[in-house]
Structure 1
Amino acid sequence: MKLLYKSLLIIVLFAANFIFAQNVTHAVLVKGECGMCKERIETTAKKAGAKTANWSASTKILNVEFNESETNLDTVLKKIADAGHDNERYSTTQETYNNLPDCCHYERQPSFLKTEKKDSELQYFVKGNCVSCKNRIEKAALDAGADVAVWDAPTQKITLQLDPSKTSAEAILKKIADVGHDNEMFQSTEKAYKDLPACCVYSRTLAFGEKNPLVHIDEQPSESVARKDFSDHPEHYDNSIEGVTVIKERDATALSRKDVGLTFNISGKELLKAACCNLSESFETNATVDVSYSNAVTGTKQLKMLGLDQKYTSLTKELLPEIRGLASPYGLNFIPGRWIGGIQLTKGGSTVTNGYESITGQINTELLKHSKEPETSLNIFADSNARTEANITHTSNLTQHWSQSILLHGNGTLVKSDHNNDGFLDQPTGTQLNATYLLNYTDLDHSGWATHFGINFLQDKRKAGQVDFDWQKPQISQPNYGVGIDISRFQVWNKTGHIFEGKPYQSIGWMNQFTYHQQDSFFGLRDYFGKQKTFYSNLIFESIFGNTNHKYKTGASFLYDNYDEDYLSQNFKRTETVPGLFFEYTLTGTNYTLVAGARTDFHNLAGTQFTPRLNFKYDFTPKTILRLSAGKGFRTANVFAESQGYFASNRTIEIIPNDGEIYGLKPEIAWNYGASLQQEFQFLGRKSTVVADFFRTDFQQQVLLDLDQSAQKIVFYNLNGTSFANSFQTQWDFTPIRNFEVRLAYKYYDVQADYANGRREVPFMAKHRGFLNLAYTTSKNEKGGFWTFDTTLNVVGKQLLPEMGTNPSEFQLPKYSGSFSTLNAQIAKNFNDKMRVYIGGENLTSYTQNNPIIDAANPFGNYFDGGMVYAPIMPAHIYVGFDVKF
């Protein structure tokens, strides 16, 4: 009988254990980056006894559920740290971290550890501003039982020492919230916050529409309260149902500390600072890229980087070739600003996996693709020159794995303007219709597959020239000068990738794109017609040697270009086929990363080309980073398409052949070398970054455009001698006060070449440039509204101008231009997350070039020239617009 009683007792106790040991759920911070991290974290948690585990790469939050009789949170987080992921209780070892795949390497500082212990001290984040805040916070902490309480305003941290038998951190932080100060566990009541003195009122909301996340005092926080280091921006929080989680607001322009190359990530937030109607206007608040007009007739803009024309920069969309070949002169107008999800700008030689054409760097544009909820946006824009635009973007999820984007754009300039009264339109009239459809599939967590499909159609028609040109008559039958440009463009592309099961470090991807581009145009009596058909394919395989300290990428690419050009009475046809092979090795050490790559391309016209590239990054500290790079690139010049800025003139085009297969010219080959130092530090208690970089480009072969032999000629020939470009830039980004961002930069260029008449500076390139951008955002009001203010000042030094001694004196240019400054500014009112109204002005200094068109009164004479542009040709103008999201 006793045995029976004992057995029954054991059964009862065992059952009670299951009855009272209920499943519990926790939300905890775990560091990671990608889909591979997600699989590793969730699998490890389940192996440690969790019933369910769901980790988000965007919020870094792991929602984990388990039965307390089977495991506990400590065990789960310890196992996750052992697998390589820092979390709020445990950190992994450096060796385990290094062995993670490259895509999984997250930033280890600041730490997620829930408390920073130092001699039994605890640290938490508490909001406040001044000495009055400090006194109030510390008194509340001591009243709640703390033995020591020290609050620091610059870091927003309170350091506590306490006896756990008498009080707890939760009790202390609750008391601090009661007296009006939000912290990482509790939010103050609205009454307590409003009762604070004026000097103590701090920002309770994000600058860009996120809700204040802190757990309200009438809610019960979870056992693990997730948190982050707020040392950069203490106001940047977000929330979750289970507890407090924190998301740092993405910087408008962020210099990546992880990338081996000098890469700037430009977000949509940066693009909203200016009119940003197309890609050429997306860099007005960026110090790295120089934007200038190509001529005084067509009004198109061109980019320059590291002192060289945009043709030496690889311009891609979705990592696929985009603005090249016949699209070079006008392609920047083909990507509307409201379509852009982000831009990655890399200075110097980029990875060999993306091709051989990058010499000074790469600018990659990502289109809007993903959204958590269906969203439709409408943008309307108009300026004082009667330029109008409309953009409609729609993103939505079709199923769990399928999503779509519909991007529509239309613009038109219908009113003629001639501010300088020279008889020529200051900007072309005309219209553009542009439509893109994107379809995406993602299932990396289960099947390991993802694919992206896109299709685009564009029609762009522009009319320029003299105001009195009669478009009902052909050019030959009237005395007025006209310019007509009609471009049609069609693209279809696909990118598909697969991650191998059980091998998160191993993947394969295949990209394909077909492009058809046609331009029909005339410039006075000069006709130009061009067609280009391009097919591009790139297959990339990625894996490791032994462990993830030794990674490699290898693959094959193929490029097909078919060109058919008519210039005046001459026809130029060619077909370029370029199969290529590449290999890239990445070595990751404790505080350094080395990326060495090379590719061989078998060009049917330019011959076999070998392209090596090397990038090295060394972290002296997490905030002091040195980068070195060296690499080679080559390209084939499209002399007519790339020189259309000079077509609006009466210069004749002369090509001096050099036994080449493309216009009789040899391809362009150049080496680029660079070094940069990135330093982050605290300035006025806030994050500050200084970057200094130097790049040099040396041409082995180059197609020179010579404007100096005669004012009546454009001469193309291959370089015979030396050509180089030196570029130095230093940039300082800092935040003197909360919500006020400052970007200050200086650039120096030395660009020279051995022309037929001797070595001289390349024209239209200022040696000295200055840049200042100021951006301020107000705190949100009760309805979620806020204001943004932005202004950009560009200072451009004197520029060498082409020699025009063969012209009469009244049609000559001075040797150097004068220095000048331009000022852009914008004010925007965000009523809430859904509606935004903005007004801005460009070239508010109203500086314009005098007589930008030489001999404008006689456009068919020997001296007419609309290509000698070195400064703005449009005076100050105002624009307005609004954005609405549905």
Structure 2
Amino acid sequence: MKLYISRIILGVFLLSAQFIFTQHLSKNQFKVKGNCEMCKERIENAAKKAGAKTASYSIDLQTLTLETDDTISTDNILKRVAEAGHDNEKFKSTDTEYEALPGCCHYERDLQPKPVENHQHHSKKENEFYVKGNCESCKDRIEKAAKDAGADSAEWNAEKQIVTLNFDPKKTSSDKILKKIADVGHDNEKYKSKDNTYKNLPSCCLYDREIPFGEANPKVHTEEGTTFEHNDHNATNENHGNHEKQIEGVTITGSKAATSLNKKEAGLVFNIDKKELLKAACCNLSESFETNATVDVSFSNAVTGTKQLKMLGLDQKYTSLTKELLPEIRGLASAYGLNFIPGRWIESIQLTKGGSTVTNGYESITGQINTELLKNAEKPETTLNLFADFNGRAEANITNVSPINDKWSQTFLLHGNGTFGDTDMNDDGFLDRPKGTQLNTAYLLNYNDLEKSGLGSHFGINFIKDERTSGQIGFDKKIPQDKQSLYGVGIDISRFQVWNKTGYVFKGKPYQSLGWMNQYTYHQQDSFFGLRNYSGKQQTYYSNLIFESILGNTNHKYKAGASFMYDGYDETYLTNNFKRNEIVPGAFAEYTLTGLKYTLVAGARVDFHNLAGTQFTPRLNFKYDFTPQTILRFSAGRGFRTANVFAENQQYFASNRSVQILQNGGNIYGLKPEIAWNYGASLQQEFKIFGRKSTIVADFFRTDFQDQVMVDLDRSPQQLTFYNLDRKSFANSFQTQWDFTPFKNFEVRLAYKYYDVQADYLDGRREVPFMAKHRGFVNLAYSTNKNNNGGFWSFDTTLNLVGKQRLPNTSSNPEEFQLPTYSESYAILNAQISRNFNKKIRAYVGGENLTSYYQKNAIVDVKNPFGNYFDGGMVYAPIMKANFYVGLDVTF
């Protein structure tokens, strides 16, 4: 009997266990608004606390993927997510919940919840009607319109997007009331507002009009009198960056732009994501802007083959180049630092034109370019990238991003490249690019417990070893320079970095935080250019402490903090040694005022430079939204920097120019610091063409130098002269850019740039050399739809049109070694075709400079490299003809 009972109990147990373990798990994807890693952590935690088995939020796709069993309501989960401050497709956060989020988490509130129906949705009663709106102002407007149309009472619920009406059918009707509500700007289930009426609403009331609703009456009347039908059931599909909402017969598709202009920022800030970087052979940071119209990329000389960036008509040194918001490419790294950030390591780039925030330092004059490394993954992910071109360059990248637990995650980054072939496309006997190798490795460790303890931290370490050899073909770096007749260039660089960023969000005060950033950098370069030696060592320690809070409410935010910078330089050029220590403590404050249609950011910092004296740096950014589609911006600010005349002008060392410094009583090479003011204005206009979003941005910036270290190449072709500006130096930059999509998956970017850059040299005002006045830009990108395996094709092409440039004066040279006053105009065409076979394998093939335009006489007196007239720094165009490459990406 006992055995029989035991068997029954065991059978019941097994059946119960089978039921428990075979419960149906369903996976759903929902639209949820968020901005950053803090948002991701908050959304996922809220979902899990509400009963989700798993929750994974994608910042790029703005989607939350939930795995739940049949006993859990996804509505309850999404309601908890909304209560945490994040609007989603079913529930909207209250204004109080949204405003309580940290400033970095304030997303654009353009997503409206869909009406909640059926067994998991709100059951709409006979006197309830769907009406779109956003805030308390909307509520007042809707209820007043309903009463004006004869309703005895009206109550609008923002969360459910429903108005409850009580009225006498003998005096009015629901149609009459809803039409009146549409007349004041609010779409509803029977009537749609006129576009002009909608656009005249305050910006806080501009709800999302993309997904109409109306299940009670599926026919919604538009202003033209036509109707369309739909239902509210939806499915979400991914289409290589596109997001589709399918609504029974109607498919509405939106896509996240590869490069987007941040509409929330007071400054002109472009966000560049990985999708943009994959459009070209993005082997390092210098090649990350091939498809970007704002930044100009050019070769700096014909011997070392390095590339430099220019922005707003001025050299790279006037742009603050940061990594993880920490100082990166500056000082001794100026010449070759762009090669030290591999393209496959980059998660995103933020590009700011004009004056940037004072919290990031004093050196930014023309803008800031910040690079964020890979460190975000929902599950362990390892990628392998292999690249090779047809001229002997090869590289490999391995990245691994993996969560350790719910608080810790880590990233391993490994890069190696080598150039082994002798490339001499113009047959001048000199290598068009150096041969050599680079080994680059980094480790990142992240801790995120902002929701519970309010603490987050990021740690990183990076080591680089780069060795390059260039010059005449046949040069042997192992043989001493004075023992061989060939001209050679050798550059060996070792670089080590370690950094930490730690932040704390005060409990009960999500708008208040404290952050502390620290970084140590060691950089050493040993190099020679023919018979000239240049070596340098730099040690840098940087620290930045930032406190952020509000004054009364989140419309009034402020930041305040202190920074410290130490630079120790030890340089040797020929037999001359230059040593200096720069010690710069500083303090700053910044105030942000946010109104319904405007944002004002005003900041200032004071820095106590031991060699340059006390420097005051004010900056101002202002944004005004005429409408959500028309945005005007103004900026003004001051910046200063100390010039590293040797490190920043190494492109001219590959010549026989003698270096002359005309000292002016300063403490840095006998020169004073560089100081400049930058002013700018831009207009952003969005509109629809071909039924799709289109954006035109026009901007103008002017930079006026109060003091500048002039690099004078005109005094004599045999001299490189440095001295402080005596009178005026300015740069005017105008750019207009149009982004539009003629049809699905086809993106077009057109741009035109005009530069007027002039300076008063010792012998008069002249245009600054190597700067084209006119530039044109065309980028075309097309992708096919995904197949069942997730595979698709991508086609990208970029055309750069470069106008004539003034060249340095060489009139005193013998006639055969003289350059024209202006260069030729030319065009460069790049193209790439890639094939994603599925989500894990991608292959690509491409070509650079397909027009094969190259500078035929890139080196002056190339046959006599040790003669008086030899000069490899007079480069204004590519020095290589068309180059083809292939690559493979594999994700594990």
TM-score (norm 2): 0.81
- Residue-by-residue CA offset, 1:223-280 (whole Å, 9 max, x unaligned): xxxx9x986xx1x5xxxxxxxxxxxx53211111111110111001100000000000
Correspondence 1:797 to 2:798: no
Structure 1 pair 230–84 and aligned structure 2 pair: CA distance change class (3 A):
farther
- Residue-by-residue CA offset, 1:327-366 (whole Å, 9 max, x unaligned): 0000000000001111000001111010000000000001
Contact 2:542 2:563 in 1 (8 A): yes
SS at match of 2:239: coil
Which one of the candidate residues 411, 416, 433 is aligned to 1:410? 416
Q: Which residue in the other structure is 2:19 paired with?
A: none
Q: Which residue in the other structure is 1:341 paired with?
A: 347
Contact 1:66 1:72 in 2 (8 A): no
Q: Which residue in the other structure is 1:697 paired with?
A: 703
Q: Which residue in the other structure is 1:885 paired with?
A: 891
Which one of the candidate residues 845, 848, 853 is aligned to 2:859? 853
SS at match of 1:780: coil
Which one of the candidate residues 149, 169, 185 is aligned to 2:233? 185
Which one of the candidate residues 649, 653, 664 is aligned to 2:670? 664
Correspondence 1:471 to 2:477: yes
Counterpart Cα distance in 2 of 1:573 and 1:73: 66
Which one of the candidate residues 283, 305, 313 is aligned to 2:289? 283
Q: Which residue in the other structure is 2:373 paired with?
A: 367
Q: Where do 1:286-297 residues align within 5 Å?
A: 286-297=292-303
Counterpart Cα distance in 2 of 1:640 and 1:488: 18
Structure 1 pair 52–865 and aligned structure 2 pair: CA distance change class (3 A):
closer
SS at match of 1:629: strand
Count of equivalent residues: 777
Structure 1 pair 163–393 and aligned structure 2 pair: CA distance change class (3 A):
closer
Contact 2:482 2:531 in 1 (8 A): yes
- Residue-by-residue CA offset, 1:29-85 (whole Å, 9 max, x unaligned): 6645457768998999999xx7889895744659799999xx9979995x9979966
Contact 1:36 1:504 in 2 (8 A): no
| Structure 1 residue 104, shift from structure 2 partner | 3.4
Counterpart Cα distance in 2 of 1:82 and 1:705: 59
- Residue-by-residue CA offset, 1:262-319 (whole Å, 9 max, x unaligned): 0111001100000000000000000000000000000000000000000000000000
Whichever residue aligns with residue 848 of structure 1, its letter is Y
- Residue-by-residue CA offset, 1:508-549 (whole Å, 9 max, x unaligned): 111111111011000001100100000101111111111111
Correspondence 1:108 to 2:109: yes
Counterpart Cα distance in 2 of 1:162 and 1:471: 77
Which one of the candidate residues 836, 844, 853 is aligned to 2:850? 844
SS at match of 2:302: coil
TM-score (norm 1): 0.82
Contact 1:205 1:780 in 2 (8 A): no
Structure 1 pair 541–64 and aligned structure 2 pair: CA distance change class (3 A):
farther
Which one of the candidate residues 584, 593, 596 is aligned to 1:587? 593
Counterpart Cα distance in 2 of 1:779 and 1:842: 26
Counterpart Cα distance in 2 of 1:80 and 1:430: 53
Q: Which residue in the other structure is 1:321 paired with?
A: 327
Correspondence 1:809 to 2:842: no
| Structure 1 residue 704, shift from structure 2 partner | 0.3
Contact 2:42 2:451 in 1 (8 A): no
Counterpart Cα distance in 2 of 1:774 and 1:703: 40
Structure 1 pair 460–29 and aligned structure 2 pair: CA distance change class (3 A):
closer
Contact 1:34 1:57 in 2 (8 A): no
Which one of the candidate residues 583, 608, 621 is aligned to 2:627? 621
Q: Which residue in the other structure is 2:829 paired with?
A: 823
Contact 2:322 2:329 in 1 (8 A): yes
- Residue-by-residue CA offset, 1:837-864 (whole Å, 9 max, x unaligned): 1000000000001210000000011100
Correspondence 1:611 to 2:659: no
Correspondence 1:398 to 2:446: no
Counterpart Cα distance in 1 of 2:727 and 2:681: 26
| Structure 1 residue 183, shift from structure 2 partner | 7.6
Contact 1:184 1:214 in 2 (8 A): no
Q: Which residue in the other structure is 1:140 paired with?
A: none
Which one of the candidate residues 627, 642, 645 is aligned to 2:651? 645
SS at match of 1:476: helix
Correspondence 1:535 to 2:536: no
Which one of the candidate residues 194, 207, 222 is aligned to 2:239? 207
- Residue-by-residue CA offset, 1:123-145 (whole Å, 9 max, x unaligned): 9xxxxxxxxxxxxxxxxxxxxxx
- Residue-by-residue CA offset, 1:669-718 (whole Å, 9 max, x unaligned): 00000111111111100011110010000000000000011010000000
SS at match of 1:682: strand
Contact 1:766 1:800 in 2 (8 A): yes
SS at match of 1:450: strand
Structure 1 pair 91–403 and aligned structure 2 pair: CA distance change class (3 A):
closer
Structure 1 pair 847–64 and aligned structure 2 pair: CA distance change class (3 A):
closer
Contact 1:98 1:588 in 2 (8 A): no
SS at match of 1:578: strand
Correspondence 1:775 to 2:781: yes
Correspondence 1:500 to 2:548: no
Contact 1:122 1:159 in 2 (8 A): no
Q: Which residue in the other structure is 1:733 paired with?
A: 739
- Residue-by-residue CA offset, 1:119-169 (whole Å, 9 max, x unaligned): 96899xxxxxxxxxxxxxxxxxxxxxxx9999xxxx9979786757xx999
Counterpart Cα distance in 2 of 1:697 and 1:733: 27
Counterpart Cα distance in 1 of 2:486 and 2:517: 48
Among all aligned residue pairs of Structure 1 and Structure 2, give the percentage whose two residues are the same amino acid: 67
Contact 1:32 1:60 in 2 (8 A): no
Contact 2:52 2:77 in 1 (8 A): no
SS at match of 1:435: strand
Structure 1 pair 65–389 and aligned structure 2 pair: CA distance change class (3 A):
closer
Range with greater deviation from structure 2 (85-94 or 360-369):
85-94
Structure 1 pair 619–707 and aligned structure 2 pair: CA distance change class (3 A):
same
CA RMSD of aligned residues (A): 3.6
Q: Where do 1:441-520 residues align within 5 Å?
A: 441-520=447-526
Counterpart Cα distance in 2 of 1:418 and 1:39: 53
Counterpart Cα distance in 1 of 2:381 and 2:840: 10
| Structure 1 segments unaligned to the other structure (5+ residues) | 1-23, 124-146, 170-180, 188-203, 218-226, 237-248
Counterpart Cα distance in 1 of 2:74 and 2:412: 47
Counterpart Cα distance in 2 of 1:205 and 1:182: 18
Q: Which residue in the other structure is 1:220 paired with?
A: none
Q: Which residue in the other structure is 2:566 paired with?
A: 560
Counterpart Cα distance in 1 of 2:294 and 2:231: 39
